[in-house]
Amino acid sequence: MRKIFSNTFTLLIALLIFNFSSNNIYAANEKKVEVILQPVDSSVFYQPNDSDSEIIIEEISENNSANNKTNKTSKRKNKTKKNSSFSKLMNGSKGANVVIQRIDDDEESTESSEALTNNNTQKQEDSTTSKSNKKKTVSNTVKEKVTKNYIKSNIANKPKKNKKSYIQEKIFLPGHETKEMVCQGIAYLPNKVMNANKQSDGSYCRYVLLSYYPKNSSQPSQIVAVDKEKGKAVRRFALYNSKNSKYDGHCGGIAVAGKYLWVASSYKIRAFDLQTIIDFILDKNAKSDPAKGLPDSLDKLPVKKLVAEKKYGVDSIASYLSFDGKYLWVGDFSEPGSSKYKPISHHNVMGRKNWLAGYLVNENGYPTSKTKYSFSKHSVHKPDAIIAMRQEVQGMAVCGNYIALSLSFGAKNSKLAFYKNPLNSKGETVTYKAGGEKHSVKGWELSGKKNHVKTIKLPAGSEDLEYDGENLYVTFECNSKNFRSRWGSKKGVKITENFYLIDPKIAIKKK
């Protein structure tokens, strides 16, 4: 009998010790900084890949009266929780083990409740001094993201690579069913505005931008956004020089750099706000505004007026445009023996008659060259670099280890020529005379003898090029009603109603 009484007394003492320890453990745990994991809303924030996620950490205030009430409520809940866990422990339930293990996992040391309490007190003191700074940092980060729209990147919908053909995708080109508008420029639209010097990252971009000039229309030049996943146009932007002045330039090339969409024509590049374009594409309430002088495939689209924010004079006819993550490359179109498309005299350097003018940009995508001069009534900025090359070029893009040129003119099939990229070499110092003064600039050359790799055939009327880090974008004007019948009647001339996405590596290897 005494033995039974002794065992029972020992068990009761053990239970009292456990009860006291558990209470301290929960009390100590209650005072810890609370961490809330909040997944980012995928419909608002851009996620470049499936592994990306965002953790927002909030610290719960420990000094206000509202939180004191919360603490009291939590203690009552913990007491109930403690008793429930104790019952489970006595009944051999695994649930109590889970609770105790969770507490152990949350602490680096659980040797005693006193150590936990002392450690937590120190944490509270440290938190008091740094809490406001941490919370401010998190708040600013969230505020910045909320005020910017991002295009959701759905990697799962990215087309699988076609290893047999260099043409990875063919997507319908709208706006060519009449003679009113003609497509000239092409550029991929990044999913968000980013640092220009980190832009060429090869990430999957859902939308493509196309530029159109008015061939037989009183409407301004247009930018059209095409959804690659759906294969159709979704938005239209009417371009203006100012609020009441239409821009009706040739817009032979377009390129995205930093916070701007740049549009090229007539010795100038014009900057349009990229965030405005992204916001309008994501606006579910965007409305159309039918206007005379537009083909139906463009006129029915939701439209927004887009006014140029900046203009920048360039030493180039500005027939086409491309951005490689470092330079904005602006190029000339000229035709041998043509009185209409003569080359610029001082562009005749390194034994070539044409050049590409390269302009370094800052993180916002704005050119940094400030040296100016004038020739033939054009006020321009001195380029930071040039590439001397052949004539009949309609588009250019740097594709990693290669440079691609779009070659076309009139009723004949186009060519896509690839050269080894010389930009990683030192280059040469090129001297030229413009505006009555001599200038020098770093230069490279593209030529058949030095660095030509391969040329492939394309349908007639290839125009602007751009490269997104993986695919080369090529647009065409041949299916416009202005040229389709006339060019298509020529023997062997191919007409396409699409723009292409080409893998340059496969194109170069193709026999």
Residue 322, domain CATH: 2.120.10
pLDDT of 17: 53
Name residues whose C-beta falls within 8 Å of residue 257's C-beta, 6 or more positions apart in sequence.
Answer: 196, 199, 323, 328, 361, 365
Candidates 465, 466, 497, 501; CA nearest to 483 is: 497
Q: pLDDT value at position 8? A: 52
Are residues 120 and 168 located together in one domain of the fold? Answer: no
> Structurally, how many domains does the chain consist of?
2
pLDDT of residue 315: 98
Whole-angstrom distance, CA of residue 243 vs CA of residue 186: 25
> Do 362 and 477 reside in the same domain of the chain?
yes
CA 93 remoteness from chain centre: 53
Q: How far apart are CA 489 and CA 483, in angstroms?
A: 10
User: Which residue numbers in the chain have pLDDT < 70?
Assistant: 1-147, 153-158, 200-203
Q: What is the pLDDT of residue 340?
A: 86
Q: How far is CA 489 from CA 181, 354, 457, 462, 477, in A?
A: 21, 31, 18, 18, 16
The answer to whether the beta carbons of residues 208 and 224 sit under 8 Å apart is no
Give, as one character, the DSSP assignment of residue 243: T
Predicted confidence at residue 26, as pLDDT, reads 41
Do 11 and 92 lie in one domain? The reply is yes
Domain boundary among 128, 146, 164: 146
Q: With H, G, I as helix, E, B as strand and everything else as coil, classify residue 236.
A: strand
Pull the structure tokens for residue 222: 């247009």
Contact 264, 257 (CB under 8 A): no
Q: How do residues 393-442 score in pLDDT, each as one tens digit?
A: 999 999 999 999 999 999 999 999 999 999 999 999 999 999 889 999 99
Residue 149 phi, psi (nearest 5): -90, 145
Residue 136 sits in the same domain as residue 159: no
Pairing of strands 232-242, 303-307: parallel
Q: Are 58 and 19 part of one and the same domain?
A: yes
Check residue 156 and give its pLDDT: 58
List the one residue out of 148, 289, 303 whose CA is nearest residue 233: 303
Q: Is 216 helix (H, G, I), strand (E, B) or coil?
A: coil
Do 192 and 284 fall into the same domain?
Answer: yes
Contacts of 63 (CB under 8 A, 6+ apart): 128
Task: Give residue 154's pLDDT.
Answer: 62
Contact 330, 360 (CB under 8 A): no
352 and 484 share one domain: yes
- Nearest-angstrom CA–CA distance, 385 and 379: 18
SS3 content of the chain, % helix, strand, coil (to 5): 25, 30, 40
Question: Of 86, 114, 146, which one is at a domain's C-terminal end?
Answer: 146
Rg of the Cα atoms in the chain: 33
Within this chain, do residues 120 and 182 fall inside the same structural domain, yes or no? no
Q: How many CA atoms lie within 13 A of 106 on its CB side?
A: 19
Same domain, 139 and 191: no
**The domain boundary residue, chosen from 146, 171, 192:** 146
108 and 162 housed in the same domain: no
The answer on 166 and 80 residing in a single domain is no
- The CB density around residue 217, as the number of other CB atoms within 10 Å, is 21
For the entire predicted model, the pTM comes to 0.72
What range defines the domain where residue 496 resides? 155-509
Residues 300, 411 share a domain: yes
Residue 213, CA atoms < 13 Å, CB-side half-sphere: 18
